[in-house]
Chain A
Amino acid sequence: AQSVTQLGSHVSVSEGALVLLRCNYSSSVPPYLFWYVQYPNQGLQLLLKYTSAATLVKGINGFEAEFKKSETSFHLTKPSAHMSDAAEYFCAVSEHGGSQGNLIFGKGTKLSVKP
């Protein structure tokens, strides 16, 4: 069965510093992978997704993620953090062509950005 592990439930960075949020997955077939962001008191919003095309995926708000099959990873990065990036981030996997059609979510990583 598929699973997702997000390393670090809380990450704190300074404004302007690199953001790195880690995600590792387990899947028996080629996966589709997603990063969602949840701002305080809001629903989840898609940041970016990997669907077996380019391994480096660019998303909204300057975020990007790289699919590394050999490491079963899909880490999220942003070169320079902004105060508005403070939120909770969720990695999710959807099995390619899977019949269930549901996403498996990681437990989330809360990002704090210090002035």
Chain B
Amino acid sequence: DADVTQTPRNRITKTGKRIMLECSQTKGHDRMYWYRQDPGLGLRLIYYSFDVKDINKGEISDGYSVSRQAQAKFSLSLESAIPNQTALYFCATSDFSDRGNEQFFGPGTRLTVL
């Protein structure tokens, strides 16, 4: 079984719709992250959370919000989706005790906003 799961894996939505992407992990890690990947731009950090009560903005947080419902769950919301949010979204986790901060990634959610 996968340690980091993301749902849905693919989603097509329309401009202006609210959408939520979900991430769950069974690794027992305290830290969780949301990235988006665009061709030629690599991965860019949207939000990260070091524990349930700690939420931080990343490089490109505008237009996004997150919720850390439990240590194992971290959701990303697009309140009003726009076409330039079409991208591949990844959730990742890491362990506080790992000073190198090796991150473990989910399989990704491909989001298309029409």
| Residues of A participating in the B interface, judged by any CB pair closer than 8 Å | 9, 32, 34, 36, 42-46, 49, 51, 90, 94, 96-98, 100-103, 105-108
Contact = CB atoms under 8 A, between A and B. Distances in A.
A102 B48 contact: yes
Contacts of B74: none
B59 to A, nearest CB: 9
A106 B42 contact: yes
Size range of the chain B interface in the assembly: 20 to 34
Contact of B106 (A36, A43, A108): A43
A49 B103 CA distance: 11
Contact of B101 (A45, A102, A105, A108): A102
A97 B107 contact: no
A102 B45 contact: yes
B42 A102 contact: no
Contacts of A49: 100, 102
B45 A45 contact: no
B100 A94 contact: yes
B25 interface: no
Contacts, number: 56
A36 B94 CA distance: 15
Given A105-B43, A108-B40, 16 more contacts: A32-B101, A34-B102, A42-B107, A43-B106, A44-B90, A44-B105, A51-B99, A94-B100, A101-B48, A101-B50, A101-B101, A102-B101, A106-B42, A107-B41, A107-B42, A108-B42
A43 B100 contact: no
Contacts of B107: 42-43
B33 to A, nearest CB: 7
A9 B16 CA distance: 34
Given A43-B106, A44-B105, A96-B99, A101 B31 contact: yes
A45 B105 contact: yes
Nearest to A44: B105
A90 B50 contact: no
B58 to A, nearest CB: 7
